[in-house]
Amino acid sequence: MFSLEFSDIQQTIWETAKRFAEEVIAPGAIDRDKSGEFPKDILKQVGELGFLGIMVPEEYGGTGLDTVSYVLALKEIAKADASVAIPISVQNSLVDWIFLHYGSDLLKEKYLKHLATGEYIGAYSLSEPDAGSDARMIRTRAEKNGNDWILNGFKNWVSTGHHSDVYVVFAQTNPEIQHKGITAFAIEKDTPGFEPMKKEDKMGMHASDTVSIALTNVKVPNENIIGKVGEGFYIAMKALNGGRIGIAAQSLGIAEAALERSVRYAKERLVMGKPLADHELTQYKLAQMAMKVSAAEMLVLKAAFLRDSGADHIRAASEAKLFASTIANEVAREAVQIHGGYGYTREYVVERLMRDAKVTEIYEGTSEIQNIVIARQILKEID
């Protein structure tokens, strides 16, 4: 990434993340992809580095840095193992952010302080079997009962669903007013009736567990409402604006890894008496891949800078996510092609990059949704 305008601290975070990713995360990536083992010990160390509360102020136990530092760190982690980047992205972009901006003092004390240090892992639970892209259609119901709320329903696609301590769960409190009736709740693991179910058997991102959750008469105290009753949909969407920047950084990490592996392989592999890298067709492929990675870097950093400056960044976040996830898939696919038969084996990693890349076009808003968001923004912005 270009580093012209990075501050000393941003530079330090970037270098620390890069070293940690190369020394601690990368070595076990192939094994975790095969076994699906959750990187519990790695996350503990990530927490100790302050990377599970990067943008949380120090008064709540966080590192007190900005979005630019966050994307630099996340990109390096994703480059080593994109599935390890998932819980880090969810924690920073979604869960920490929601508690920081909408949590009461009590909830900040109860959860944010433990999330920011990495003592707790957090999950975000919006999607349901019949409400994915059309998030406003969620049917999980929360009904008031004295000082508590009783939740019933079914959630799916919850990242880190088996390993989280606290879940931000969105439920409908007043179906008549549709999305204006959605409310956010903080639910602790082991709450009776709150049951993370089967782990999905996915194409990629194997070290990240994705689960469904059944909620049967789950009693949640009123004090665990995040924000106001009826504010949940807006909280979910605003958090996803940051989340999409995180997924863009993750996609960029995958694309960079695919590019670098391709360049190294092309220099070593002899074809028709000369290195693959000396063949013009390969050079063309590498040039296209490099250009796409550079353009994605710009969009990721632009979105992060805008968010840090307090400017509206809905369009920039969606553009970064749409573009970076698209090129991550293109670059990873091309990397497999450059590696030929070897690229199709697990030994050369690029096939994992190709499998891992796919979901970046799906989660935290599909590419189709990002196009809708961008179009709506430009239709508003341009007279």
Q: Which residues, listed in sequence order, are joined to residue 124 by a DSSP beta bridge?
A: 168
Residue indicated by tokens 């059309």: 134
- 55 close to 107: Cβ distance less than 8 angstroms: no
Instruction: Choose between 225 and 359: whose C-beta lies nearer to ligand COS.
Output: 359
Closest CA to 43 of 125, 115, 124, 126: 115
Token digits of residue 14 = 């970037």
In whole angstroms, the minimum distance from the beta carbon of 96 to ligand COS comes to 16
Does 325 sit near ligand COS (CB under 6 A)? no
Q: Using CB under 6 A, which of 18, 219, 238, 302 touches ligand COS?
A: 238
Q: Using CB under 6 A, which of 68, 126, 142, 335 touches ligand COS?
A: 126
Does 348 sit near ligand COS (CB under 6 A)? no
Does 254 sit near ligand COS (CB under 6 A)? no
Map residue 54 onto helix, strand or coil.
coil
Does 136 sit near ligand COS (CB under 6 A)? yes
User: For residue 163, which amino acid is it?
Assistant: H
Does 365 sit near ligand COS (CB under 6 A)? yes
Cα separation, 106 vs 338, in Å, equals: 54
Does 232 sit near ligand COS (CB under 6 A)? no
Chain position whose Cβ is nearest to ligand COS: 365
Token digits of residue 212 = 């469904």
CA dihedral 139, 236, 247, 347 (to 10 degrees): -40
76 given a catalytic annotation: no
Does 167 sit near ligand COS (CB under 6 A)? no
Closest CA to 257 of 345, 363, 352, 361: 352
Cα separation, 253 vs 246, in Å, equals: 11
Q: Using CB under 6 A, which of 70, 97, 99, 157 touches ligand COS?
A: 157
Instruction: Choose between 30 and 372: whose C-beta lies nearer to ligand COS.
Output: 372
Cα separation, 134 vs 299, in Å, equals: 26
Q: Using CB under 6 A, which of 168, 322, 369, 374 touches ligand COS?
A: 369
Per-residue binding string, ligand COS, 258-297, x by CB under 6 A, is ----------------------------------------
Cα separation, 266 vs 238, in Å, equals: 43
Give the residue numbers marked as catalytic: 364
Task: Give the interface with ligand COS as residue ranges (CB under 6 A).
Answer: 126-127, 133-136, 157, 179, 233-234, 237-238, 240-241, 314, 363-365, 369, 372-373
